Structure 1
Amino acid sequence: MSLDRPSIAVVLVEPAGPLNVGSVARLCANFGVDRLRLVAPRCDPLGEEAVRMAVHGRSLLEAASRHSCLAEALADCRRVVATSGRLDAPPLPLLPPGEALRWLLVGSAATAAAAPSAAPAAMAAPLALVFGREDRGLSNDELLQAGRLLQIGTGAAYASLNLSHAVAVVLHELHGLRSAGEATPSPAGAVRAEDPGDPATRAALEASLADAEELLLEVGFLYPHTAHARMAKVRALLQRAQIDEGEVALLRGMVRQLRWASRRGSP
């Protein structure tokens, strides 16, 4: 990983097919992706079939980290793109691959140019590409852990893609953008006004949301039976805004002060 080329992690959620897992490891090697993360795999990622399909991606397969849930796999990531084939009311807008992947790549480079002292931390956070289950994709809760949702255009007659085929399409598009230098800011290090900075890590945002939910339940704004749905709307709002680490700290500080005041019984 170089300072102008942040690490990219491909994240597979509950993959069930060892052939797919092995094929994805090979694709990661093909396209220069250096991290593979597996969330609660439903097959043996190091079984004979997976290893046979990985070929020269075997080292990536063997080094793949395993996680109990998607939040754990994304905790150190700032910019996350999740893939979705759903058309029924997705929680965030669905974007074509090029648009979603440019967002994934551009922010870290813009941050590095605008604030070089912050660049090491920004570049150390992997960029994540999340792919869902072979049979049912990602849930709404999982999609809401991404900053952008990517949908691959297909023919209307049969829109479902095999997992490894979807990964191949996305990584090919990503490789083209990286090769064309679309992860770098404007010439001479200038940063365009529309270039976004990097959002907070997923771990920081989730901790802030957990604090907020606890307070809102305590003061009666949320009720246990509707809290999940209401907080999903708050999460979607913050995901659209893509708030940064300082803004997350501000929100968390406000929540903690409000909790202190409510428990003390004074304004």
Structure 2
Amino acid sequence: MSAPAARQSARPPAPVVVVLVEPAGPLNVGGVARLCANFAIAELRLVAPRCDHLGEEALRMAVHGGGLLQRARLFPDLAAALADCRRVVASCGQVARDSLPLHSPADALGWLLAATALPAGEAPPPSALVFGREDRGLSTDELLQAGRVLRIATGEAYASLNLAQAAAICLHELHQAQLRQACPDEPGPGAPLPAPSAVAAATPQARDSPADPLGDPAPRAAVEAMLQDAEELLLAVGFLYPHTAHARMAKLRGLLQRGQIRDGEVALVRGMVRQLRWAAQRRSP
């Protein structure tokens, strides 16, 4: 094998993790774990679950996904669950949500898979697919932590889907996209898709083909730290006021969501904030 081919073959696709925010139904949690096993999702993350995810109901519903459920990682909030992720897609069940742009599952999940190829030997960071609470979904603040927000098209009379049903639709769409990406020369619509093993056997060129030429977004932990720095500075210099800071920072988050800020841009903004803070303190009485 030539050196370039060896370098390419060391570029595995970015793993996708499923994140459930405050799930309340053990049957739903078990059902999603089973779906993760069905569609080869290796990791399930739970944010402050409101049920016993290792109880009898959840494990019985998980069936062969029981091991994945037992290995599920728990987090206190969504920001912590997404800290190591660069590409995040969140599911939204409402028709409109404070002017956030909504995408179809195909568009949003295609973007989720478009991770940039990494140098040989470097493990890719995970991408995340996030689902909200059964009763009220994700808050606007939580949706603003995602790079894309998807909505499953339903009838207008009753748009709400069960959590496990929504996960089934999205994971099926994600798996179809992975198979098409792995075997781009397969016959078109109506023909049977390749076996799941074809994903692992795909050529590096096929896996790398959808990569974003601008690179992946910055890790969520870096973006959150940058926003925290910026908010503290803007409060200190009087640009923000405590009673309006949250709403104005939400607008900034929306701008960054549309722009998909990258590593170098995060470093630039944090450098500006540090210099401005130094200048403000230097001129303080």
Give the alignment's TM-score, normalised by structure 1: 0.90
Could you tell which deviates more after superposition, 214-223 or 90-99?
90-99
Percent identity between matched residues is 65
Q: Deviation per CA, 1:37-88, whole angstroms, max 9, x where unpaired? A: 0000000000000000000000100000001100000000000000001123
Residue correspondence of structure 1 range 7-46 to structure 2 within 5 A: 7-46=15-54
Residues 77 and 194 from structure 1, CA distance in 2 versus in 1: closer, same or farther, beyond 3 angstroms? closer
- Pick the aligned partner of 1:231 from 249, 256, 260: 249
Name the Cα RMSD after superposition: 2.3
3-state SS in 2 of match to 1:181: helix
Q: Tell me if the contact between 1:200 and 1:244 (Cα under 8 Å) persists in the aligned partners.
A: yes
Q: 2:257 and 2:223 mapped to 1: Cα distance?
A: 10
Residue correspondence of structure 1 range 70-85 to structure 2 within 5 A: 70-85=78-93
Q: Deviation per CA, 1:118-172, whole angstroms, max 9, x where unpaired? A: 8825x1x111000000000000000000000000011122111000000000000
Residues 152 and 219 from structure 1, CA distance in 2 versus in 1: closer, same or farther, beyond 3 angstroms? same
Give the alignment's TM-score, normalised by structure 2: 0.85
Residues 160 and 119 from structure 1, CA distance in 2 versus in 1: closer, same or farther, beyond 3 angstroms? farther
Matched with 1:137 is 137
Q: Tell me if the contact between 2:97 and 2:140 (Cα under 8 Å) persists in the aligned partners.
A: no
Q: 1:57 and 1:193 mapped to 2: Cα distance?
A: 30
Cα offset for 1:196? 4.2
Residues 6 and 14 from structure 1, CA distance in 2 versus in 1: closer, same or farther, beyond 3 angstroms? same
* Residues 1:159 and 2:124 aligned together: no
Cα offset for 1:199? 0.6
Q: 1:138 and 1:245 mapped to 2: Cα distance?
A: 26
Cα offset for 1:245? 1.1
3-state SS in 2 of match to 1:12: strand
Q: Tell me if the contact between 2:13 and 2:207 (Cα under 8 Å) persists in the aligned partners.
A: no
3-state SS in 1 of match to 2:142: helix
Q: Tell me if the contact between 2:33 and 2:65 (Cα under 8 Å) persists in the aligned partners.
A: yes
Q: 2:66 and 2:128 mapped to 1: Cα distance?
A: 20
3-state SS in 1 of match to 2:113: helix
- Pick the aligned partner of 2:228 from 210, 223, 233: 210
Matched with 1:241 is 259
Cα offset for 1:189? 8.9
Could you tell which deviates more after superposition, 36-45 or 152-161?
152-161
| Greater share of helix | 1
Q: Tell me if the contact between 2:11 and 2:119 (Cα under 8 Å) persists in the aligned partners.
A: no
3-state SS in 2 of match to 1:120: coil
Query: Which amino acid letter does the alignment assign opposite residue 122 of structure 2?
Result: P
* Residues 1:198 and 2:216 aligned together: yes
Query: Which amino acid letter does the alignment assign opposite residue 40 of structure 2?
Result: G
Cα offset for 1:92? 2.2
Cα offset for 1:193? 9.5
Matched with 1:175 is 175
Q: 1:144 and 1:95 mapped to 2: Cα distance?
A: 14
Q: 1:164 and 1:189 mapped to 2: Cα distance?
A: 28
Tell me how many residue pairs correspond in the alignment.
Answer: 257
3-state SS in 1 of match to 2:134: coil
Q: 1:48 and 1:155 mapped to 2: Cα distance?
A: 34
Q: 1:61 and 1:33 mapped to 2: Cα distance?
A: 11
Q: 1:188 and 1:57 mapped to 2: Cα distance?
A: 29
Larger Rg: 2
